[in-house]
Amino acid sequence: MKTLFETLQRKWAEYLLEMIVITAGILGAYALNNWNESKKSDKLEVEMLREIKVGLEGDLKDIDYNLKAQINILKSQNILIDWLEGDLPYADSLSHHFSRVNASTVFISNEGPYETLKQLGIRLITNDSLRDQILKVYDLSFQDYKEHVVFYNDFFTHGLKFINVDYFSSSDFFNEMTPLDKDEIRRDNTYLYHLKTIRNLDDHYIEMKIKEAKMSAEKTIKMIDDELSKR
């Protein structure tokens, strides 16, 4: 016949075993839930990176188009400055350049995926370097680019409205533009000063803003590709 102590000892062992089984079950369920949540988070991160990449690829096409356009505008600015400061005869081709220096570009980035990422939490991106680069391309490079677009276009618009009217027929502003008085526009330094200022802004715009945004977008896309290749 078992003693009371032996009975209690057996009951206690059964209780401990039951507690161990229950605890193991709870911990197992918790671990499984964490694993499932981790997989969901990983899947969401991959989806967001792919969407950001698509957006940046579209932005890069826009940047490349703007870069080419601004370089052509810069060429026209330099051609006209050379003519205004030199002693060259007027050529009909200059009418095209007088028109083109009145053109400019704009940049509107596709920030929908980035805004979604910020709502989800930027730390969804687990790679610290990639996360910092995504912040940099949108909040620094693209923002700086857009601010300079506004500044450049404001100055450009001022010239279009208040300086060109003294030298060209207003109906010609976006067609072939021939100076009303070819000698006067060369004698009067007002147009030349304005054109040189725009040229310097354009050169800075290209080298320090557009190209910087381009390099930043390309770097971000490469880093996203590298990260996705690990998944």
Mean pLDDT of the region 101-106: 89
Q: What percent of the chain clears pLDDT 70, i.e. is strictly above it?
A: 81
Closest CA to 198 of 164, 225, 171: 164
Q: What is d(CA 110, CA 56) in angstroms, rounded to the nearest whole number?
A: 7
Per the structure block, which two tokens stand in for 197?
């200022």
Q: Residue 131: in which H helix or E strand, if any?
A: helix 128-136
Mean pLDDT of the region 56-76: 97
Q: What is d(CA 56, CA 167) in angstroms, rounded to the nearest whole number?
A: 42
The reported pLDDT for the residue numbered 199 is 93
Q: What is d(CA 130, CA 38) in angstroms, rounded to the nearest whole number?
A: 19
For 107-139, how does the pLDDT look when each residue is reduced to its tens digit (9 = 90+)?
999 999 999 999 999 999 999 999 999 999 999
- DSSP for 26-62 reads HHHHHHHHHHHHHHHHHHHHHHHHHHHHHHHHHHHHH
